[in-house]
Amino acid sequence: MRKIQVITDSCSDLSQELLDSYGIDYCRMNTVYKDRETPASLLWEYYTPRELYDIMRGGDRILTTQVPPEEFNRVFTVYLEQGYDIIYVGCSTKQSGSVNTAQLIAKKILPNYPEARIVCIDSLNASMGEGMLAIRAAELVREGKAINEIADIITDLRNRVHQYVTVHSLDALRRAGRVKGSAAFFGNLMGVKPILISDADGVQTPIKKVKGRMNSFAELVNQIKETVVDPENQTVYLAHADCSEEEIDALKGMIREKIPCRDIVCVYIGPIIGASIGPDAVGLWCYGDEITYRVGEAK
């Protein structure tokens, strides 16, 4: 059986420790700031988290790109040349065109490697939701599963990833065109914190609003508590956009108090997701029952 390499992208927000532990590689998107375009490194090679988020705290906007075709070509070719098949777990197609680009590049280069396979999977998620699925794919590789079986398992699993995210300020969402200016102004004035999920189609959408920072943390934990399945055997993932240590410790304490999870893994929200959601955003992820809710339906 051929070797299999799991690849994801900059939206997965996997830390260096997680990438190394599970043998996962990733394709780089780009950030653009003041006409300077740099790869969106999950290893923070071009900006530290504080530098990136301080730019946004100062009122500037950072632009982003999807994975360029030449980046997919570069990374895929590295592994094809070594005799690997590839599973690419990409950001939700509702948020990025990268999976579609990956499919086009795969179709273009595979004739040069007639025995190889590249499977591109729309994760229907972003940030650690996407990262969790890449981790699971890597675990299945280590278990000796075949590429078709892995693809089927990950495809079935993607609607069981539950995301609950809140922001500190609505300004970044306003700059990204996801919140109207007036709504952002009055929302910030009133201390409104939306709770964002990923629906069954991979669309990011608010499901409720709470007032106050600590109340929003409590709501994240309550939502995880209601949806997590078999918590004793699960890792709860916590990703944040340069929050203070005090806030992260407080949130971890809330999780431990209410959810008997096996572990809590904490990572930074990376440059791509961070550019859209803004500094001091924070989210929790776990596996739960199948998500069937879609934007526009009663919840």
Three-class SS of residue 22?
helix
Q: Name the phi and psi angles at 291, rounded to 5.
A: -85, 125
Topology agreement, domain 3-158 and domain 160-287: no
Q: Which residues contact 57 (CB under 8 A, 6 or more apart)?
A: 279
Domain at 3-158, CATH class: alpha beta
| Cα gap 278→271, rounded to integer Å | 10
Question: What per-residue confidence (pLDDT) applies to 295?
Answer: 84
Domain at 160-287, CATH class: alpha beta
- Which of these, 97, 120, 96, lies nearest to 108 by C-alpha position? 120
Give the H/E segment covering residue 215: helix 213-227
237 and 128 Cβ atoms separated by less than 8 Å: yes
Question: What per-residue confidence (pLDDT) applies to 188?
Answer: 45
Q: Name the phi and psi angles at 189, rounded to 5.
A: -60, -40
**Domain ranges across the chain:** 3-158, 160-287
Three-class SS of residue 82?
coil
Three-class SS of residue 267?
strand
Residues 104-139: tens digit of each pLDDT: 999 999 999 999 999 999 999 999 999 999 999 999
132 and 43 Cβ atoms separated by less than 8 Å: no
Question: What per-residue confidence (pLDDT) applies to 270?
Answer: 97
132 and 163 Cβ atoms separated by less than 8 Å: no
DSSP conformation class of 291: P
Average pLDDT over residues 264-280: 96
Question: What per-residue confidence (pLDDT) applies to 168?
Answer: 86
Question: What per-residue confidence (pLDDT) applies to 1?
Answer: 77
DSSP conformation class of 231: G
Q: Which residues contact 257 (CB under 8 A, 6 or more apart)?
A: none
Lowest mean pLDDT among 13-27, 146-160, 197-211: 197-211
Q: In what order do the strands lie in the sheet with 36-39?
A: 36-39, 30-33, 63-65
Question: What per-residue confidence (pLDDT) applies to 298?
Answer: 61
AA identity, residue 25: D
Residues 206-265: tens digit of each pLDDT: 899 999 999 999 999 999 999 999 999 999 999 999 999 999 999 999 999 999 999 999
Q: Which residues contact 219 (CB under 8 A, 6 or more apart)?
A: 164, 166, 195, 208, 210
9 and 90 Cβ atoms separated by less than 8 Å: yes
Whether 191 shows a pLDDT value over 90: the answer reads no
Between residues 265 and 182, the one the model is more confident about: 265
Q: Sort 34 into a burial class: Cβ within 10 Å, 0-12 / 13-18 / 19+.
A: exposed
Question: What per-residue confidence (pLDDT) applies to 180?
Answer: 38
Whether 174 shows a pLDDT value over 80: the answer reads no
Q: What is the mean pLDDT of the chain?
A: 92
Report the chain's C-alpha Rg in angstroms: 19
Residue given tokens 């980046």 in the structure block: 71
